[in-house]
Chain A
Amino acid sequence: MSALGAVSVQFTREQLAEVRRLQALYPDKRAALLPVLHLAQEAFGHISLEAEEYAAGLFDLSPAHVHEVVTFYSLFFREPRGRHVISVCHNLTCHLLGAQRVLTHLKKRLGVDVGGTTPDGGVTLLSVECLCACEMAPMMQVNDRYEGNLTPEKVDRILAELR
């Protein structure tokens, strides 16, 4: 993927085979839309309007139908994101146990606000609703992983490992 985000929105032959497999798996082909959008995001980095149109073509849906799905869910990114995504939980238990401190620390260390991406394209910082890991509050998701019992020191260690 180029730094400018200029990715051709086209699945490889293998990915297209996976699309066909998913579409045949469900009682109704359309049910494969979410899995295919996950696949698209993995392949293209984010789901652009162009990617929505491409997905619509694969499902014989109107781009508007795909757009309303993409915009409904929080895990579909419509803009390029960083190579790493950090999502700090700000719901009740994490809030009680210091989520704001964690977020403030991350903003300072990364030099970005919530929703922002570091200038080098390294990290996107988000503040999100309950990730259902309240036993390790305050916690955050780093890409696929949950990290909990956060302190500023632990956050620094996690950031150092990401670079």
Chain B
Amino acid sequence: MSELILTRNFHLPGSHTLALYRETGGYAGLEKAFAMKPAEITEEVKKSNLRGLGGAGFPTGVKWGFLPKGHPGPIYLVINADEGEPGTFKDRYLLERDPHALIEGMIISAYAIGAHLGFVYIRGEYVGPWRIFRRAVEEAYQAGFLGKNILGSGFDLDIIIHRGAGAYICGEETGLISSLEGKKGWPKLKPPFPAIRGAFGAPTIVNNVETICHVPHIVRRGAAWFAGLGTKTQGGTRMYSVSGHVARPGVYELPVSVTLRSLIDEHAGGLPNRRRLKAVVPGGSSAAILTAGEIDVTMDVDGLKNAGTMAGSAGVIVMDETVSIPDALMVVARFYAHESCGQCTPCRESTGWIYKMTRRIIEGKGRKEDLDTILDVARRGAGTTICAFFDGAVGPYISYIEKFRAEFEALIPK
């Protein structure tokens, strides 16, 4: 069993309380952090090979390094707790079971980037997690971990918790910023990247919950330790959300070098009812699907990229031999059609039409040319839109059809 870092306290009653967090060494990274120069912390995070765990997998320290040097105005830290990628539920566990880890991570990260105001954007449906996190923030204020002159360091940080209102696109960092600003969650054209011009026009760093929860451990135990847990290009462990046809669905924290086969068979207990594996979505619904023969891959960002898919949010959806892939694609296509924000024509139109076509295929009313039309529309639209939402939809459209084409063709009348 490998060492648990982020989830080590999850089994303890009261793991969400300040008392238990401190008893188990929580907030101990702060003093060490305040004794370092902010730039040293960013350097340490760079060397740790921590990569963004919300979906894009971008190196966290490099992102921080994009901030303008010596910026005279405010800089903001925004935490993306708008968990919404189908198949993912790890951030919910962190908010509910270890909210102080996020607060400590935010204090250190804000200190590193020079932010004195942090926002936590929590999806609106997460009412329970929001209440728990809100209570933890109150506790942290009372104990002097938030507010003015934290632990006598001279560093100030306030946290505002912002609730979303139901929109997947607000998990996209610029859509999130629009929503935080009180607007509909339309993504913004990049550049300028948020690090240059983000929330309220100020330089802004947007990081995922799990990413920031790693930061106190990196500061406390060093970049080399963290980097050594993973692969050459990605440090640490991450939390895999495993669901679908497995004996033990749940969150599994493992080094990123774990293979998909081991994650399914050893950790999640394999498939129930002696059924055989058919396919796996390895990184949330936007990741290209893998067949049963393609699961000997490591679950790090580059391992899955080399396998033609992506690590994404590490939401692993397991499908056994009874699953109809066309039916699964219809469900996924419905999601993208519903969640497209409507700003860019290729995405708005394609997601809607592709959903209609997948639906008519499973209703037995498909036309011979439908599959090639879907592939064509998907390929032409990729890379033409403001944000990565449509590129994410293209992952399943193309891979489900290319890898299981015969199954789709069998449903289309000759």
Contact = CB atoms under 8 A, between A and B. Distances in A.
B241 A135 contact: yes
A135 B242 CA distance: 7
A102 interface: no
B184 A134 contact: no
Contacts of B83: 132
B315 A35 contact: no
B166 A75 contact: yes
- Identify the interface centre among B86, B128, B200: most chain A CB within 10 Å of its CB: B86
Interface in A12-59: 25-28, 30-35, 37-38, 59
Contacts of A87: 125
A97 B86 CA distance: 14
A74 B241 CA distance: 25
Interface stretch (B147-155, B189-197, B245-253): B245-253
Contacts of A33: 182-183
Nearest to A133: B89
Nearest to B200: A27
A144 B87 contact: no
Interface in B164-204: 164-168, 179-185, 199-200, 202
Interface size class, chain A: 35 or more
Nearest to A66: B182
A96 B124 contact: no
Nearest to B158: A25
- Identify the interface centre among A28, A59, A73, A135: most chain B CB within 10 Å of its CB: A135
A145 interface: yes
A92 B332 contact: yes
A129 B163 CA distance: 18
B243 A134 contact: yes
A132 B96 CA distance: 13
A75 B31 CA distance: 41
Interface in A104-163: 129-137, 141, 144-146
Contact of A129 (B86, B117, B124): B86
A135 to B, nearest CB: 4
Contact of A93 (B125, B244, B334, B341): B244
B315 to A, nearest CB: 7
B181 A28 contact: yes
Interface in B279-305: 281, 285
6 contacts: A31-B180, A33-B182, A69-B183, A90-B334, A93-B243, A93-B317
Interface of B: 74, 76, 83-89, 91-92, 117, 123-128, 160, 162-168, 179-185, 199-200, 202, 241-245, 249-251, 281, 285, 315, 317, 319, 323, 327-328, 331-332, 334-335, 338-339, 341
Given A73-B165, A146-B128, 8 more contacts: A31-B200, A35-B162, A73-B166, A93-B86, A96-B319, A130-B85, A134-B89, A135-B251
